[in-house]
């Protein structure tokens, strides 16, 4: 299981990710949808340890 609570990331004064929370249980499939610059890649990099 992956559990993320209130994930946030700032680049200086710019808030790139603001309070993201979700749970992924065994067998679940998760996708991120959103416009360019919404923080999808930043979120994935943070939870995988690349950022």
pLDDT in tens, 2-17: 999 999 999 999 999 9
User: How remote is the C-alpha of 19 from its chain's centroid?
Assistant: 9
pTM over 0.85: no
Residues 50 and 29: their CA atoms lie apart, in Å, by: 21
pLDDT at 51 over 90: no
Mean pLDDT of the chain: 95
pLDDT digits (tens, 9 = 90+) for 18-40: 999 999 999 999 999 999 999 99
Structural domain boundaries in the chain: 2-48
Give the tokens for residue 40.
């999808």
């Amino acid at each position: 299981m992956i559990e993320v609570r209130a994930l946030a990331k700032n680049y200086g004064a710019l808030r790139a990710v603001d309070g993201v929370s979700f749970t992924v249980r065994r067998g679940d499939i998760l996708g991120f949808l959103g416009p360019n610059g919404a923080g999808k890649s930043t979120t994935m990099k943070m939870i995988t340890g690349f950022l």
